[in-house]
Structure 1
Amino acid sequence: MRGHWGIENGLHWVLDVVFREDRSRIREESAGANLAMVRRVAVSLLRRAPGKGSGLTKRLKAGWDDDYMLQVLQGITAPVVR
């Protein structure tokens, strides 16, 4: 049980610190849920991204450096269809 809450709290902490999710003022219909999903995908890609640094550092670097952003986005793999 503690393991589950540790993972859950860790994800929420990352979303709040890196993406300031708690400060989001989006209130329109499903926009909040859609952006929450995009943020979770971004967290996953940033964790896989090369380089040292926190998620916040990697997010800022991806915003400033197009080449690094391409490296982050190349972490997306195609689904395997069977």
Structure 2
Amino acid sequence: MATLVRAHWEVENGLHQRVEVVRHEDATRIHNGPGAPNLAVVRRAALAVLNADTSFKDSLPRRVRQAGHDDTYRTHLLNFVIS
């Protein structure tokens, strides 16, 4: 039974914790309608790109901030998606 419980929380901590801590998804005001799932897809795609990028070695929250402030890093990430 303990193995099943740990497996459940591994999924919870692996995805939701990262999305909530890094992107503050639970704090968004978009909860209903088509906007909520669409925005969730975009957020998870952005998270996947940040996780796949290995050029900037730092924590995920730091990479999110860096992408928000640095045009060259953001351009690098967009080119990473395109290629």
TM-score by length of 2: 0.79
List gaps (5 residues or longer) in structure 1. Answer: none
TM-score by length of 1: 0.80
Identity of aligned residues (%): 38
Q: Does 1:73 align with 2:73?
A: no
Superposed displacement of residue 7, structure 1: 3.6
- Pair 4,75 (structure 1): closer, same or farther in 2 beyond 3 Å: farther
Q: How many residues align structurally?
A: 78
Give the 5 Å matches for 1:45-64.
45-49=49-53, 50-64=55-69
Task: For 2:22, give the aligned amino acid.
Answer: V
Larger relative contact order (Cα-Cα within 8 Å, sequence gap ≥ 6): 1
Shifted more, 69-78 versus 8-17: the winner is 69-78
* TM-superposition CA deviations, 1:18-70 (whole Å, max 9, x none): 10011111134110100000000000000122211111100100111110001
List gaps (5 residues or longer) in structure 2. Answer: none
Indicate the structure with greater helix content.
2
Task: For 1:36, give the aligned amino acid.
Answer: A
